[in-house]
Amino acid sequence: MAELRREPITRMWVVITADHPKGPSDYLPFKPPYQPQAATGVCPFCPGNEAMTPKETFSLRGEGGGWSVRVVPNKFPFFHIEGDFDRRPEGMYDVMEAIGAHEIAVESPDHHQNLATLEPSQIQKILFAYRERLIDLERDRRFQQFLILKNYPGIFNRHPHSHIMAMPVIPRRIDEEIWGVLDYYQRKERCIFCDIIKEETSVKRRVVLETSHFLTFSPFASRYPFETWIIPKVHSSDFHSIQEEEMEDLSIVMQSLFLRYYKLLSDPPYSLTFHTSPVQSRFHRPEYHWHIEIRLRIGLREGFEWGTGFFVNPTPPEAAALYLREVE
Amino acid sequence: MAELRREPITRMWVVITADHPKGPSDYLPFKPPYQPQAATGVCPFCPGNEAMTPKETFSLRGEGGGWSVRVVPNKFPFFHIEGDFDRRPEGMYDVMEAIGAHEIAVESPDHHQNLATLEPSQIQKILFAYRERLIDLERDRRFQQFLILKNYPGIFNRHPHSHIMAMPVIPRRIDEEIWGVLDYYQRKERCIFCDIIKEETSVKRRVVLETSHFLTFSPFASRYPFETWIIPKVHSSDFHSIQEEEMEDLSIVMQSLFLRYYKLLSDPPYSLTFHTSPVQSRFHRPEYHWHIEIRLRIGLREGFEWGTGFFVNPTPPEAAALYLREVE
């Protein structure tokens, strides 16, 4: 099991996993992060190896019975589905069990695809799987927040996959956004994300792509080089309320954006997250505006960012958006 | 010049450097962060090459005239010393010039040393240089926050060096700590850091080292494997009010800690920051308790942390402290 420990000063929750605590030898020899790893042995996400994963929670299957998208519980989850929170003090500190869900969406049967090479129709199936899982997980009243996360390339397995998580607490970054959204709403009775959409479509310099349902742009205060956000143009607080027509549009946007990245930066590593409102009526925020944030894992200034929570970005978003717009 | 742009939702300031904006080719071929770089050409931090750096702001010199520690303005600063803030709106957003100081402390004349191999007496000289620079920079009323930061190994140069920065805004991480410190103080009329020191010296399981003036420990909610904090046992808000005797003690602590890391994890990469109260009477917080935070740059979960502000640590601090205590 893993514990959630509360950092007493800033009150941030940290997951401390203790099932298989990692000692010094687990970090040796030191490997730089994100170095592509050699394919070793058999891939548990490839067709034919389904028995290597826990029992699937969702799949999309064709007439022949083969799956096109498959969701399975993570064998090494950050959050465990069984058990009680057991909230308790430990000396002056606060602890609880890390209860939650942590599933893996296998995005394609093909080990060698990625979001730049998949057909939009396949990406739409992935979005559909996300939505179905969140609708199901929402029935578990213990969860306050969903997170969909993709690291490319995958750190432990290069087969295309992403993480679907349900968490028992609202993570810091979402909490900060909600605070800002509510404060803005109080002052103006408008959604700050809707205002950003108006500003960006009017100024245009930071827009990468605009389709009927989504705006893709480099945010004004981009923290990372070539950071982009994809946001629904009509206000909606929850990703999992997305409609078929919007999923179709979004899948085209995603394929186009990741193909642009692929061509412009030679298949760069990236992380992608869906930011969506907390769930359960006590925590749900209709003022929130769901969106996708994409960060390329390029550049070198992590120490400074870590020390200060202060980001330095040497690629202005206006330049980034121009490059991304003009990719052939 | 660089701009400070305010992220409108969470109100975090981001530095956007535009002097030499980096385009796609600057990130190609993609290099994983922290891969040791080959020494190319002449090192501007080595003795004899002093003319390659801007004019020094501080140095410690022996009788022969050679320097043992030298501080110079950074040739590629995040913050510029000249100019006005020029605070202004840009559409719905907020911008100002990135005014500040960004200096480099060259920690030794010897290119091949590091904090694990330097004599404590040399580390004491580095601490003395930090203190003198902060005392001098405090006279510039434009600066609200100091930051001392070291990345090891250096990203662009492996000659031992660290960064001394004076910033015109209080960075997010310090701001969050101050918020927590003041809230705790209001409830208890005690410093939360002082309470943590009492808790840790009483529980002992997370203590790495205790000396007459400093406690070194793995924090209860460690965000990173083998994270440690070094904190003065007597309440003090500002690093630059440190006394000679404390600097001597701290230099011994630092050398011992980094030697333990060196032996335990085979010379791991790390980042180190000094957290100290904001300066200027308007911003200064006597309730704050200065300390040093050290993070090893090992492990692989950056995507998750970025997406959520949520940290997962597979090495419980009790295990980390035990390993570090027992290094021979």
pLDDT digits (tens, 9 = 90+) for B85-143: 888 999 999 999 889 999 999 999 999 999 999 999 999 999 999 999 999 999 999 99
B49: tokens are 């090459």
Å between B6 CA and nearest CA of chain A: 6
Residue A68 CA to residue A66 CA, distance in Å, equals: 7
Cβ separation of A308 and B172 shorter than 8 Å? yes
DSSP B144: -
Q: How confident is the model at residue A242 (pLDDT cuts 50, 70, 90)?
A: very high
Instruction: For chain B, give the percent of residues with pLDDT over 70.
Output: 91
In a domain? residue B35: no
Q: Into how many domains does chain B fold?
A: 1
- Beta pairing, strands B311-313 & A13-17: parallel
In a domain? residue B260: yes
Q: Which residue has the higher pLDDT, A180 or A13?
A: A180
In a domain? residue A30: no
**CATH number, domain with residue A186:** 3.30.428.10
In a domain? residue A11: yes
- Beta pairing, strands B214-217 & B207-210: antiparallel
DSSP B246-302: HHHHHHHHHHHHHHHHHHHHTS--EEEEEE----STTT--TT---EEEEEE---S-H
User: Which pLDDT does position B36 carry in this prediction?
Assistant: 44
Least trusted range by pLDDT, from B5-14, B54-63, B160-169? B5-14
Instruction: Inform me whether the pLDDT recorded for A306 exceeds 70.
Output: no
Instruction: Inform me whether the pLDDT recorded for A29 exceeds 60.
Output: no
Q: Count the residues in chain A.
A: 328
In a domain? residue A215: yes
CB proximity list for A304: less than 8 A, separation 6 or greater: A310, A312, B78, B149, B163
User: Which pLDDT does position B224 carry in this prediction?
Assistant: 86
Q: Which residue has the higher pLDDT, A24 or B270?
A: B270
Contacts of A307 in chain B (CB under 8 A): 147, 149, 173, 271, 273, 293
For testing the chain B interface, which of A95, A306, A326 should be mutated: the one with the most B CBs within 10 Å?
A306
User: Which pLDDT does position A308 carry in this prediction?
Assistant: 66
Residue B69 CA to residue B122 CA, distance in Å, equals: 8
In a domain? residue B127: yes
Q: Which residue has the higher pLDDT, A5 or B19?
A: A5
* Structural domain harbouring B146: 2-18+43-326
CB proximity list for B148: less than 8 A, separation 6 or greater: B130, B162, B163, B164, B165, B239, B273, B274
Å between B66 CA and nearest CA of chain A: 31
Which strands, in side-by-side order, build the sheet including B311-313? Answer: A88-90, A93-97, A2-6, A13-17, B311-313
Å between B162 CA and nearest CA of chain A: 11
Q: How confident is the model at residue A33 (pLDDT cuts 50, 70, 90)?
A: very low
Arithmetic mean of pLDDT, A196-222: 96
In a domain? residue B201: yes
In a domain? residue A261: yes
Does the CA dihedral A31-A304-A3-B209 come out positive or negative?
A: positive
CA geometry: angle B96, A312, B7, nearest 5 deg: 55
CA geometry: angle B250, B255, B257, nearest 5 deg: 90
| Nearest residue of B to residue A289, measured between CA atoms | B9
Q: Which residue has the higher pLDDT, B224 or B247?
A: B247
Chain mean position to CA A284? 19
Cβ separation of A8 and B196 shorter than 8 Å? yes
Residue A205 burial (10 A CB sphere; 0-12, 13-18, 19+):
middle
Q: Is the peptide bond preceding residue B314 cis, with omega within 30 degrees of 0?
A: no
B316 → closest Cβ in A16, A155, A298: A16
Check: CB of residue A37 under 8 Å from CB of residue B208.
Answer: no
Per residue in B198-221, pLDDT tens?
Answer: 999 999 999 999 999 999 999 999
Instruction: Inform me whether the pLDDT recorded for B310 exceeds 80.
Output: no
List the one residue out of B129, B151, B68, B123 whose CA is nearest residue B249: B123
